[in-house]
Amino acid sequence: MASTSAAAGTEPDLIARREGAAGIIRLNRPKAINAVTLEMFRDIDKALDTFEADPAVAVIVMEGAGDRGLCAGGDIRALYDSSKVQGDLGKILWREEYILNARIARFPKPYVAFMDGIVMGGGVGLSAHGRHRVVTEKTKLAMPEVGLGFFPDVGGTWLLSHAPGDIGSYFGLTGQTMNGPDAIHARFADAVVPSAKLAVLREELTKVQPGTPSDEIKRLIDGFATGETAGPVAAMQATIDRWFGHDRMEDIIAALQRDGSEPALSTLKTLNEKSPRGMVVTLKLLRLARASSSLEQCLAREYRAALEVFASDDFREGVRAAVIDKDRNPRWSPSRIEDVTPAMLAPYFANIGADELVFDQ
């Protein structure tokens, strides 16, 4: 069965095996909160090949090792190192990752993701496109990429643009964390199951008969669920819509300044810490995603923008401040939203010719 190569005596970074009727895919880097490498993405794809072809596999279960979370995202440090030397890891990794995200979304067998604990960035791409997305009372789901001079990728622009009102704009631009019920409200998840019940649910999924339709898998999961569908951020929906229901960052900032309340000023402070260019790119991607007809369209657009980000000083500076030096003091270029010009934005949305992301239908 597919598994990322491991040194003798150690477990592989990706474990894929059949348990009863379930094809289990376990991200297995618990010390790194299961951050995903290029090899792991490749092994997930191979595992899906195997499970799709195996008539004994009724359902896929995506899970993370350890008790900290499903996945903290992609291997940012490796991308940073490659970007510094004008390498091609971003071009290769994101191409394969985004194609995998689209595959998960259209996978023919029921795909169940256990989104327990931390679920961020690339971890969202491996879970939130699945058919059955289970969160818990421990879930901390976020798309914090704007804080790295980046934008919510892995199909994040598609997901965020389909959240109710402008709550997706809020989560995408602030990088704020959703709890389990808010993830359901934002349409990133389907059911809250207490983490103490996950083991029993997992055991039941291994007993599902091959050919069981998705509706029956949903009923099985719902039997363990609390029924919660909205958390603390959902309670602010009307206010968030008023703040973020604009197509220019300057207008969002102005709406928060006009409001002047403690929550508005706190949100303003959060935005002031993010990459101005990252925010402007993100907002445009979200608005374009709203008018898009498919996840694949959004992923192709994200890939164009990601290649431009990979070559940018803002990405390296964001990762330096957050991950390398950890001084939390990025020096963005430009440093103000009003200095982000159309000429700066254009390359993020330009056709990339032979490198365009194409999906097998």
Catalytic (active-site) positions:
74, 122, 145, 153
Q: CA Rg, the chain, in Å?
A: 20
SS (H, E, C) the chain: CCCCCCCCCCCCCEEEEEECCEEEEEECCHHHCCCECHHHHHHHHHHHHHHHHCCCCCEEEEEECCCCEEECCECHHHHHHHHHCCCCHHHHHHHHHHHHHHHHHCCCCCEEEEECEEEECHHHHHHCCCCEEEECCCCEEECCHHHHCCCCCCCHHHHHHCCCCCHHHHHHHHCCCECHHHHHHCCCCCEECCHHHHHHHHHHHCCCCCCCCHHHHHHHHHCCCCCCCCCCCHHHHHHHHHHHCCCCHHHHHHHHHHHCCHHHHHHHHHHHCCCHHHHHHHHHHHHHHHCCCCHHHHHHHHHHHHHHHHCCHHHHHHHHHHHHCCCCCCCCCCCCHHHCCHHHHHHHHCCCHHHCCCCCC
| Distance set, CA 239 to CA 130, 165, 195, 242, 297 (Å) | 30, 10, 31, 5, 30
- 55-64 per-residue burial string, b: 16 or more CB within 10 A, e: under 16: eebbbbbbbb
Asked if residues 284 and 304 have their Cβ atoms less than 8 Å apart, the reply is no
Inter-CA distances, 217 with 16, 128, 271, Å: 21, 16, 40
β-bridge partners, 25: 16, 62
